[in-house]
A and B are shown apart, each in its own frame.
Chain A
Amino acid sequence: MKFLGNVIKYGANVDTDVIIPARYLNTSVKEELAAHCMEDLDPDFRSKVEPGDIIVAGSNFGCGSSREHAPVAIKASGIACVIAPSFARIFYRNSINTGLPIMECAEASAGINDGDQIEIDTDTGAIKDITTGKEYQASAFPAFIGEIISSDGLVGYTKSKLGK
């Protein structure tokens, strides 16, 4: 999938407690979660985010809890993709499973600025910063992960495996 969007940039170790504070986990309705996404880290996130925007962050994005509510809240906020040098492993799984595109690319994380307009291709891993003209290449997903993604997430993969 190709996306063109503006960048919202954050630092390293963005944890699941700031992505969606636990006090809002008495629901799993995605719109309700999106209403509080990032509020303890960036109170302006809700007002500035536009559909198709892309989060570019530092390493270990999504560290902390196993709450799948975190990628769900980000996706429901309209974010098209998260780019970071590395993702915490449960967040990584949860993103694949819930269909939030993620890309691992340390150079892009370092080189792209807040507010830049970037174009990405989640199939090829190509990242182009339209504002600066710089190009980057994200790591490819392992083949098995690609299979899960192309099976419409883990649920689709499991259904076909179980013959349901």
Chain B
Amino acid sequence: MGMTMTQKILAMHSGKNECAPGELIEAKLDLLLGNDITTPPAIDIFEKNGFGQVFDKEKIVMVPDHFAPNKDIKSAEQCKRMRDFARFQAIKYYYEQGEEGMGVEHVIIPENGLVKPGDVIIGADSHTCTYGAVGAFSTGVGSTDLACAMAAGTTWFRVPEAIRVELHGKLNPYCSGKDVILYLIGKIGVDGALYDSLEFTGDGVASLSMADRLTICNMAIECGGKNGIFPVDEKTIEYLDARVAGGYTQAPSWLFPDPDAVYEKTVVIELSEIRPMVSFPHLPSNTHAVGTFEKITIDQVVIGSCTNGRLEDMEKAAAILKGRHVADGIRAIILPGSQRVYKQALKEGLLEIFVDAGCVVSAPTCGPCLGGHMGVLAKGEKCVSTTNRNFVGRMGHKESEVYLAGVEVAAASAVLGYIGSPEEL
């Protein structure tokens, strides 16, 4: 039987020629990831059970990004626990605050060239599915999974069924990968891809930048997906060649879906039909195209996160904010996703544009996305955010509201004072 890209990768990593949906397999891991919230419980389990040394100190990434720079004493203790363990185990890819290569985990891991096509990656963070953008199988797990995988170098998976997402045509101005994924989630629902892999294909793929693809795969989890994955093309190779140590010129020859691969269903998306999207509270599937709803005044805008904290996102925000100013009473908080993004944004003059426009510019952190710090919402406040979740209480008080959008809508909304499109400026 033909296999999807995901099924092929899982078969290759479990010593099989093929595997079928529903099969439970034990796969070798190429990379494991934890952050300051999920790693401390994993360390507790690892040490309590006498697992000793990690299976490979060069295949584990630890990033203090969620409540770091430390937001309170307890968070500081959690970061310290991870830092001490990383030092003791000589973990190669532990990224300290401020060092080159540091930032929000899913921004820095591809940026630092740590993921490649055909890899199997798990991370104790649900947005680990981001790396499907480079043709890897990557998915989120919990702390116990991370602890056991740090010891064994393997983990179990149920081989997923797949949904084929066919992308055709090109995106309209002011639309990006964020609008594609919000549109898809709106179409299939927050559990529309439950347990499945989302396999992207079609002539529209070529028109999407790597930043778009990373954003799309990042939010595969928001429709229940196990992973999202893109085919490898020239853009992927060019992206990887500039980042992977020693360069990268050729993806594995087997890494493509078989012509007779089986899909549960196919979703066809004409990219030109997508308008700038906004997900209303309190589900990412509650999508509305900008211009189809009454005026919603806002209190705050957040631009950043593992979903939209890349250089392209900063450039898009700056293009809209240049020479303009955020509306009276609006707090606009911009978080470059990594030190490299921050430095490049500095070089390109983007940070000056943000400051001149009246924005707060923060160090890279997940902070406000999960109501941690650097932009927590009060009761009744409304925020347009380029992050990935708008659940009840996600960014603060349970009666606050989060509207998810792409960077351009978020930046335009900061200037307008209500949710709107750049065309209204």
Contact = CB atoms under 8 A, between A and B. Distances in A.
Interface residues on A, range: 35 or more
A148 B157 CA distance: 13
Nearest to B285: A13
Question: Interface centre among A59, A65, A98, A142, by most B CB within 10 Å?
Answer: A65
Contacts of B128: 66
Given A27-B74, A40-B392, A67-B38, A155 B45 contact: yes
A89 B142 contact: no
B124 interface: yes
Given A21-B371, A26-B67, A63-B191, A158 B50 contact: no
Interface in A104-150: 142, 144-145, 148
Contacts of A67: 37-38, 142
B74 A66 contact: no
A52 interface: no
B331 to A, nearest CB: 19
A29 to B, nearest CB: 10
A40 B398 contact: yes
A65 B24 contact: no
Contacts of B194: 60, 86, 88-89
Contact of B190 (A60, A155, A159, A162): A60
A145 B190 CA distance: 25
Given A60-B224, A90-B141, A142-B24, A68 B393 contact: no
Nearest to A153: B144
A10 to B, nearest CB: 12
Interface residues of B, number: 53
A68 B143 CA distance: 6
A161 B152 contact: yes
Given A23-B372, A26-B75, A28-B44, A64 B389 contact: yes
A17 B389 contact: yes
A117 B214 CA distance: 47
B151 interface: yes
B140 interface: yes
B147 interface: yes
A13 B392 contact: no
Contacts of A97: 142, 144-145
Contacts of B308: none
B142 A90 contact: yes
Most buried by A among B67, B124, B144, B393: B144
Nearest to A164: B50
Given A60-B191, A155-B148, A89 B283 contact: no
A15 interface: yes
A158 B152 contact: yes
B24 A144 contact: yes
B125 A66 contact: yes
B402 to A, nearest CB: 10
A43 to B, nearest CB: 9
A159 B148 CA distance: 8
Contact of A18 (B145, B376, B392): B392
Interface in A70-88: 86, 88
Contacts of A65: 125-126, 370, 389
A68 B142 contact: yes
Contacts of B221: 90
B41 interface: yes
Given A23-B376, A67-B38, A155-B148, 19 more contacts: A13-B190, A17-B389, A17-B391, A17-B393, A18-B392, A25-B370, A26-B67, A28-B44, A64-B391, A68-B142, A90-B126, A93-B142, A93-B145, A94-B144, A142-B158, A155-B45, A162-B51, A164-B49, A164-B51
Interface of B: 24, 37-38, 40-41, 44-45, 49-52, 66-67, 71-72, 74-75, 78, 123-126, 128, 140-145, 147-148, 151-152, 156, 158, 190-191, 194-195, 221, 224, 226, 283, 370-372, 376, 389, 391-394, 398
Interface of A: 13, 15, 17-18, 21-23, 25-28, 40-41, 59-60, 63-69, 86, 88-90, 93-94, 97-98, 142, 144-145, 148, 153-155, 157-159, 161-162, 164
16 contacts: A15-B391, A17-B389, A22-B66, A25-B37, A26-B75, A64-B126, A64-B389, A65-B125, A66-B126, A66-B141, A67-B142, A68-B142, A90-B142, A98-B142, A161-B152, A164-B49
8 A-B pairs with the lowest CB-CB distances in the bound complex, closest first: A26-B74, A68-B142, A94-B142, A97-B144, A60-B191, A22-B370, A40-B393, A158-B148
